[in-house]
């Protein structure tokens, strides 16, 4: 099976997540969308993800999805985000990915995230203040300042199961 993993990252967290995810798939092609917008033609599964800034996926992923949606729509898909405040994940997914995309994907999840203020721009720190205040006040119950390998593994299993089911269906024809 040919697997394509593409990601958009600002501080490197989504790159780490994509690399960990690729370990579950022999020969997966992994691309940073800030360097190249690979054509998903010919892949059995397409997995894509992004770091989150101000509640939004990063522009390279938005551009890639817009350009290639018709090609990825019929294939097995997986969507991941990297964000340290897990209880915000459902809303982030809803705001950034269409219902059609979410419902047609074999796996949709947050892999956690890393919060490294040294890698953030000053304006990002300013925008982050409400989230930091939320954390300090205890209003966010699921702050995870690291990637979650168990979620990445479960996500990979969901993709693998979907690919097996698709292959079994094709064989029964």
CA torsion through residues 127, 132, 138, 141, sign: positive
DSSP for the chain, please give it: --EEEEEE-SSSHHHHHHHHHHTTSTT-EEEETTT-----TT-SEEEEEEEEETTEE-HHHHHHHHHHHHHHTTSEEEEEEE-SBGGGHHHHHHHHS-HHHHHH-SEEEE-B----GGGS-HHHHHHHHHHHHHHHTT--S-B--SB-HHHHHHHHHHHHHHHHHHHHHHHT-
Terminal-to-terminal C-alpha distance of the chain: 19
State the pLDDT at residue 150.
Answer: 95
Summarised one tens digit per residue, pLDDT across range 14-29 is: 999 999 999 999 999 9
Determine the Cα–Cα distance for residues 33 and 142; give it in Å rounded to an integer.
29
Summarised one tens digit per residue, pLDDT across range 86-124 is: 888 999 999 999 999 999 999 999 999 876 555 555 555
Q: Number of folded domains in the chain?
A: 1
State the pLDDT at residue 133.
Answer: 47
The CATH number of the domain holding residue 133 is 3.40.50.360
Average pLDDT over residues 71-87: 93
Residue 11 domain boundaries: 3-171
State the pLDDT at residue 129.
Answer: 45
Give the predicted TM-score (pTM) of the model: 0.84
The answer, yes or no, to whether residue 142 has pLDDT greater than 90, is no
- Does residue 48 come out as left (phi exceeding 0), alpha (psi in the -120 to 50 range) or beta? beta
């Amino acid at each position: 099976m040919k697997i394509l993993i593409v990601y958009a990252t600002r501080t490197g967290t989504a790159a780490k997540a994509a690399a960990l995810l690729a370990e579950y798939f022999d020969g997966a092609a992994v691309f940073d969308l800030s360097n190249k917008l690979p054509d998903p033609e010919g892949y059995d599964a397409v997995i894509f993800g992004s770091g989150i800034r101000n509640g939004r996926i990063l522009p390279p992923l938005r551009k890639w999805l817009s350009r290639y949606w018709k090609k990825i729509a019929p294939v097995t898909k997986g969507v991941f985000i990297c964000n340290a405040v897990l209880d915000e994940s459902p809303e982030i997914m809803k705001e950034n990915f269409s219902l059609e995309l979410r419902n047609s994907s074999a796996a949709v999840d947050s892999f956690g995230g890393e919060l490294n203020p040294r890698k953030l721009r000053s304006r990002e720190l300013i925008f982050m203040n409400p989230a930091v205040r939320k954390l300090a006040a205890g209003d966010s119950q699921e702050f995870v300042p690291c990637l979650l390998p168990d979620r990445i593994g479960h996500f990979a299993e969901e993709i693998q199961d979907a690919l097996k089911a698709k292959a079994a269906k094709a064989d029964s024809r």
